[in-house]
Amino acid sequence: MKNNNIKNKISNIDKSKEFILEFFKDSNITDEKGILTISQVPIEFVNFIGKKPPYKLVFDINLHNKVKDSELIMQGSYFLLAIRDYLNDKGETSLLKINFKPDLKKLSKNPLLKKYKILETKETNDFLYEFSFLSTFQYLNDKKQSITKFLIKDKEILDIDLNKFNIEKGNNKDIYNNQVLDSEKSYETAKKILDEKVNKEIKTIKLILKEKLEKELFRVKDHYFKQIKEKDEEVETCKNKIKMLQNKLRHTTYDRDISILERTIRESKERLEMLQKKGYRERLNIEEKFHINDEIEKHVLSIKNVLINITVFYYPFYELKVSNKGKNSIIRYNPVLDRIF
């Protein structure tokens, strides 16, 4: 167990270091005695973080304590959070090209096109949208995050592996002027699917939270149940005492005892009146509601889904003039999905 923890720690350090090196790849970096010194940092980043370079980055708390003005880099550390925030509104959109040319000569052998004779072929572009969401689940003093990606075409979630294609950096010029990139409907689809997926993901969290909350609510409810019961009992005792004293009074003849009993009855009645007048039930019910609400709010599960990127994939799309049994028609062929329309 201990070894696993150490391994995790080391792999986290490696990941963080690798990330830092990539982020500052255009800056000047020296790596000496476990200290990464970074200079020549873009001014935009310097202004954002509010600290002038060189940055001395260390990956070990003991070293951090020794090196003056160093920044400790560890999973979730402030410097990494600052870089994340810096990148927050960056990399939100990308354009990629699925670069492949299907062998049109072989197209006629495609089972979907078998019954057609291809007369003419016209190539154009079509698009797929990839939506990436960052979901954050926060509850009590815990926070979990996950990233989900959806590939969507015309409101349909696609289950295809784009890695089998040759993906290249896209060029804006490849998109025709009359082509509209409307990703809004696909976004609405993605939201719905994400909702379902997230709900599956938080099942365990919900169970833990519910259990914790119920325990706290039981404490509050039990407390007020007992409090009300105690007050009720107090009222009942008071009433019984009055009855008992009144009974006693009826059978007493000595003046001195009568006056004592009358005084005690009067005091008990006053006490009873005070208990009932204060409306303890209503007051305690209001208090209970307040504390129940406090616990519910304390155990709130907050889910925040934020779209962090839309990537547009474009690829060749064919309009085919075909003839079938002497009849000419136009059909569309999507080679990435391998579908005709």
Residue 254 Ramachandran class (φ > 0 left, ψ -120 to 50 alpha, else beta): beta
Q: Is 340 in the site for another protein (CB under 8 A)?
A: no
CB-based burial, 249-277: b 16+ in 10 Å, e otherwise: eeeeeeeeeeeebeeebeebeebbeeeee
Pick 244 or 286: Cβ nearer another protein: 286
Nearer to another protein, 29 or 307 (CB): 307
Q: In 88-202, where does DSSP find H-type helix?
A: 104-107, 184-201
Contact 320, 331 (CB under 8 A): yes
User: Which residue from 7, 42, 66, 76 is in contact with another protein, where contact means CB under 8 A?
Assistant: 76
- Minimum distance from residue 119 beta carbon to another protein (Å): 34
By CB under 8 A, which span of 38-46, 75-83, 259-267, 319-327 interacts with another protein? 75-83
Task: Write out the H or E segment, with its range, that includes residue 80.
Answer: helix 78-87
Angle, helices 203-250 vs 255-277, to 10°: value is 160
d(CA 152, CA 140): 35
- If the CB atoms of residues 44 and 69 are measured against another protein, the closer one turns out to be 69
- For another protein, which residue of 46, 160, 166, 290 counts as binding (CB under 8 A)? 290
Q: Which of residues 197-256 bind another protein (CB under 8 A)?
A: 198, 206, 209-210, 213-214, 217, 219-220, 222-224, 226-227, 230
Pick from 80, 151, 152, 242: which binds another protein (CB under 8 A)? 80
* 110 CB-contact burial (10 Å; exposed 0-12 / middle 13-18 / buried 19+): middle
Tokens of 45: 């980043």
Site for another protein contains 77 (CB under 8 A) = yes
3-class SS at 341? coil
Write down the least CB distance from residue 269 to another protein, Å: 23
Is residue 95 involved in binding another protein (CB under 8 A)?
yes
Residue 81 touches another protein, criterion: CB under 8 A: yes
Structure tokens at 24: 């500052």
End-to-end CA distance of the chain: 56
Q: Is 57 in the site for another protein (CB under 8 A)?
A: no
Using DSSP's 3-state secondary structure scheme, residue 38 falls into: strand
Question: Rule CB under 8 A: which of 298-327 touch another protein?
Answer: 298-312
Query: Cβ of residue 103: shortest distance to another protein, in angstroms?
Result: 28
x/- letters, 134..163, toward another protein (CB under 8 A): x---x-xxxx-x-x----------------
Chain centroid to CA 284: 37
Cβ distance to another protein smaller for residue 89 or 159? 89
**In the numeric block, which tokens belong to residue 197?**
């997926």
Does residue number 83 form part of the binding site for another protein (CB under 8 A)?
yes
Give me the amino acid identity at 106: K
- 174 is a contact residue toward another protein (CB under 8 A): no
- Minimum distance, C-beta of residue 219 to another protein, in the bound complex (Å): 5
The residue within the footprint of another protein, chosen from 132, 268, 314, 322 (CB under 8 A), is 132
